[in-house]
Amino acid sequence: MKKFILPILAAAVTISGTACSNAGGSATTIPSQPIASVATPVAAVPSVTSSAKFTITIPAKVAASSNSRKPKYISSATASVKITLVSVNGVASTMAPLVSNVGPGTTSITMPNVPVGNDVFSASAYDATNASGNLLSSGTASGAIVSGVTTSIPLTLVQTVVPDSGANVYALSNTQMVETNSGSKTVKLTITGLTSANAITTDVSGNIYINHSPNGQDTVVKYSPTGTLLKTIPYNTIPGEWYGNAIAVSPNGATIWVEDSHNGNALYRFDGSTGAPTIIRDGNIGTASGLATDSSGNLFVMSTQAWSIAKLNSAGVYQTKVTQSAGGFGVSPSSITVDGQNNVLMSVSGSNGSPGSISKFSNSLAYLDSNTALPSTWIIPGASAPIGTVVSDANSNLFISLMNNYQISGISNGAVVSTVSMNDLRAFTVR
């Protein structure tokens, strides 16, 4: 390594000049004299640049072994890495950071034009592209950069500890369910082996209920919060009844509801303990396309066929309903949920690329308002696709998915504050 030091020379410098006297008339000559040399420290300035290479391997699966991770902690959720040159030979660097978007597999990130010398770098991994989103891990690395050689720098990252916060999101694909905390992005549970899964909900104890069709047999399965299979309820063995595509459960799990979208004006009501079925038929409910329960176990049934929301008590007895004439149904209702205050929220898809909206009804189904009259937390910011599903957690925070977009967005104060993604997203719920 070469160092170039700027020499400082001592010299006798003659300074002469003229100063004005107080008398205002004569000039005074300052005699010449030497100026002592001053030893001023000068930092080493590298005159040559080279490049540094960082290699990372991102596991393709959440459950991948640490053996497939490089460095030791690199999350499968990593979407981008930022490399910053911190210092060269102990002198702070002003070089712009290098940001690289990455995905599963092994990636080499080469940082060009790095000054030759003893360099210190910092590295940060994020769960969104362009060094945005949540910080997953970070660390420092150092190495001697040599002229004309691309130097490989070993990375050491430490997991950024983010406490679980916000709701847990249960995202359902065709074949699996993944529970992720929306704050820390920690994967809490994965359930695999599902077939044509299409609906999911939870009870207050955290038990998970999924509707799927193994071997063409429509079935409700119940799992414990830790993923233990507790109950299997096949239901298309009931003569003339099948095609359930929405599911709801009473808060204590005593009653499981499944829509019958094949036979109009009908619902399945299963005993949560025995699985014994009852078929509820009522012309007031229409062909169900969305289900939700409140804290008392009342059931709300949305029908896109009848353009209505009907309320049934926990026994399945019809109470009241609201129809399109009351307002709030927009172009096309798409989903229904109940918030922490037992208000009923209905998502309305947009049309011609316009954003959708959220309509709000009281627990007795009096229409209250839509979108602009709602708090800013319920306005979908920048939505450019129709709303597919809206779900509220117990604190009335909203989680929204857009049609043809495999991403669930948590909304707070009119802004997206968290996102959870899943390929082939079919349905989701939060708790």
CA 229, CA 234: separation in Å to the nearest integer?
14
Q: Which residue has the higher pLDDT, 154 or 397?
A: 154
List the CATH number of the domain containing 134.
Answer: 2.60.40
The structure tokens listed for 421 are 């993604």
* Residue 315, C-beta contacts closer than 8 angstroms, at least 6 positions apart: none
Same domain, 105 and 178: no
Q: 101: which strand partners?
A: 80
User: What pLDDT, on the 0 to 100 scale, is given for residue 140?
Assistant: 83
Q: What is the pLDDT of residues 7-27, one digit of tens each?
A: 322 322 222 222 333 333 333
Average pLDDT in the 264-279 region? 88
Residue 426 confidence (pLDDT)? 85
What pLDDT score does 414 carry? 52
Q: Please indicate, yes or no, whether residues 394 and 284 belong to a single structural domain of this protein.
A: yes
How is 18-81 classified by DSSP, letter by letter? EEE-TTSS-EEEPPP----------------EEEEEEEEEE-SSTT--GGG-BSSS--TT--EE
Give the model's pLDDT for residue 243. Answer: 57
In a domain, 425, yes or no: yes
40 occurs within a structural domain? no
**Cis omega (within 30 of 0) for bond into 214:** no
Residue 27 lies in a domain: no
Contacts for 283 with CB less than 8 Å, ≥ 6 apart: 265
d(CA 118, CA 349): 58
Say what the pLDDT of residue 40 is: 39
Confidence band (pLDDT; 50, 70, 90) for 209?
Answer: very high
Kindly state whether residues 309 and 218 are assigned to the same domain.
yes
Counting DSSP H helices and E strands in the chain, the numbers are 0, 35
Shared-domain flag, residues 202 and 252: yes
Q: How large is the average pLDDT for residues 178-187?
A: 82
The pLDDT value given to residue 70: 60
CATH number for the domain spanning 333: value is 2.120.10.30
Is residue 368 within 8 Å of residue 342, measured between CB atoms?
no
In a domain, 381, yes or no: yes
Same domain, residue pair 215 and 134: no
Within this chain, do residues 114 and 182 fall inside the same structural domain, yes or no?
no
Residue that is last in its domain, among 120, 137, 159? 159
Q: What is the mean pLDDT of residues 113-124?
A: 90
Asked if 211 and 302 sit in the same domain, the reply is yes
User: pLDDT > 70: what percent of the chain?
Assistant: 70
- Say whether pLDDT at 295 is over 80: yes
Final residue belonging to a domain, choices 112, 131, 159:
159
Rg of the chain's alpha carbons, rounded to an integer? 33
- pLDDT higher than 50, residue 253: yes
**pTM, rounded to two decimals:** 0.61
**Which DSSP string do the residues of 157-184 spell out, in sequence order?**
-EE------S-EEEEE-SS-EEEEETTT
For the chain, the maximum distance between any two Cα atoms, rounded to a whole number of angstroms, is 124
The mean pLDDT value of the chain amounts to 75
Residue 339, domain extent: 168-430
Q: In this structure, are 137 and 180 located in the same domain?
A: no
Q: Domain for residue 30, yes or no?
A: no
Q: 321 and 395, same structural domain?
A: yes
Specify the pLDDT at position 192: 95
Q: What pLDDT, on a 0 to 100 scale, did the predictor assign at position 416?
A: 62
Predicted confidence at residue 316, as pLDDT, reads: 93
The total of structural domains in the chain comes to 2
Over residues 199-227, the mean pLDDT reads: 92
Structure confidence at residue 430 (pLDDT):
87
Residues 122 and 195 in one domain: no
Which of 100, 125, 159 lies at the terminal end of a domain, its last residue?
A: 159
36 or 139, which is more confident: 139
pLDDT at 356 over 80: no
Place of tokens 């490089």: 70
Q: pLDDT tens-digit profile of 403-418?
A: 556 667 676 555 566 6
CA–CA gap between residue 279 and residue 300 (Å, rounded): 16
